[in-house]
Amino acid sequence: MRRCFALDSAKDGSPFVDDRWGYGNPPVDYSTRTFVQAMEKQERNASCKSLTSRSEALLKYVNALFELDTGPVRKFGYVWLSQHVRGDVNAIGYLDQPLKFFLRNLTESGVLNRTALLLLSNYGKRVGSMALPSSIGDHEVKAPFGFLVMPEAFLRRNPDVAVALEVNQRRMVSAYDIHATLLALARWPDDKHSSTERGLSLLRPFPHKRSCGDVFAQPDACACLGSRSTVLPYAVDLPLFARFAIDHMNDATQANFPGRCVRWELDRVNKADVIGGGEGSEYRSLLSKGILKLQEDGRLQWLQERWWKPNQYCGQDDDVDGDGDGDSDEEDEEAHSLEARVQIRQLTGADLAGAFVIVYVGFIIAGILAVGELFYVFSTRAKRETHLNSIAVSDHMKQAGYVWRKSMDLSEMRM
């Protein structure tokens, strides 16, 4: 059994909220969102030494929670300290002492003897006047630091994990690998080498050669030199693939906006980037696998000859079975089966008559609604005028009564 909690020092711009109202039912057992909202309302200057910042309060909360003896119930916490990383380039220094006390308390209380601790940095200042305009700053944005602390007793019982962690310090690690590692720890010891579609667990040694393509990192997020690749890992006809993509876009626009869009044509292929695996890599993208399967089945050549022969459309000059229709017998059978399911024909007079009936009924409904609206407006106006007239009569009667009372008073004075 596990208990999960998520802590965030900012009520807006967090990985869970991001300027929205938040979860109706948070996906964790304990959430501090209301706690953070209350602190934001009460604090005046979280950077003042006389006040306790939200980040410091959350770290103390984590200390107290993990010091509790919950028996067989294991705890998992995700803490996002984002209060001091925005707006002020020096604000991160306010976390030095709170983090120092946090780590010291975890050590002295014995929590780290049974708990794995993972520290990850943010991507740093990417834009604005405080962004570092240097190669070092660019590298920091693309390669944030990470620290993983494992209990000594755990490493002694599992020396292979200790060796893997030592080796992987010198390997390329991605956020997908961190995710796979957390899954492996959560399932331990049932699944010691958990891996995902894009990540590997840090609890086993990584391959010696890993590229940004291997870890599914986009070229603009890759910190390696020469990360952009213009060579596909397999013998693929780039113009063929490009024409396939453009033809797909043309078909989609024609289906949704018939006769209203210009058909695109391929001019040339300038470059192509590979994401997800290179030659000899153990990683292969789904796209490359699909292309390889087309090559093995022989359909890639068929697509090239069938769809994109110059000056050839709809199977012209490609009559295989000799029946004059430009198709083979197998293709004829497939076409007949498709025709049985889908019939495409031109509009007839009956179709247009049905359309006019729909328009006529629509006009009748609109006329009824218009008459009802006019009746409502006139009735409302009549009621309003009647009400105003009654108010005017009442005011006139009150004024007449006032004059009458005044005249009576004057007559009494004369007597």
Q: How far apart are CA 331 and CA 337, in angstroms?
A: 10
Amino acid, res. 121 = S
Convert the pLDDT of each residue in 333-368 to its tens digit: 544 444 444 444 455 555 555 556 666 667 777 778
Rounded mean pLDDT, 183-197: 77
- Partner residues linked to 74 by β-bridges: 2
pLDDT score of 404: 45
Q: How far apart are CA 297 and CA 247, in angstroms?
A: 22
pLDDT score of 68: 78
For 147, the 3-state DSSP assignment is: strand
Query: How confident is residue 65, by pLDDT bands cut at 50, 70 and 90?
Result: confident
Question: H or E stretch including 384?
Answer: helix 349-414
Q: Please, what sign has the CA dihedral across residues 153, 158, 162, 168?
A: negative
Instruction: Pick the more confident residue, 12 or 296.
Output: 296
- φ and ψ at 321, to 5 degrees? -95, 0
Does the pLDDT value for residue 375 go beyond 70? yes
pLDDT score of 312: 40
Q: How far apart are CA 272 and CA 230, in angstroms?
A: 5
Query: How confident is residue 300, by pLDDT bands cut at 50, 70 and 90?
Result: low
Convert the pLDDT of each residue in 239-284 to its tens digit: 777 888 888 888 888 888 888 888 888 888 776 655 544 444 444 4
Q: Of all residues in the chain, what percent carry a pLDDT higher than 90?
A: 1
**Residues 232, 274: contact at Cβ < 8 Å?**
yes
Query: How confident is residue 86, by pLDDT bands cut at 50, 70 and 90?
Result: low
pLDDT score of 326: 46
Convert the pLDDT of each residue in 29-56 to its tens digit: 777 777 777 777 766 554 555 456 777 8
Query: How confident is residue 146, by pLDDT bands cut at 50, 70 and 90?
Result: confident
pLDDT score of 356: 61
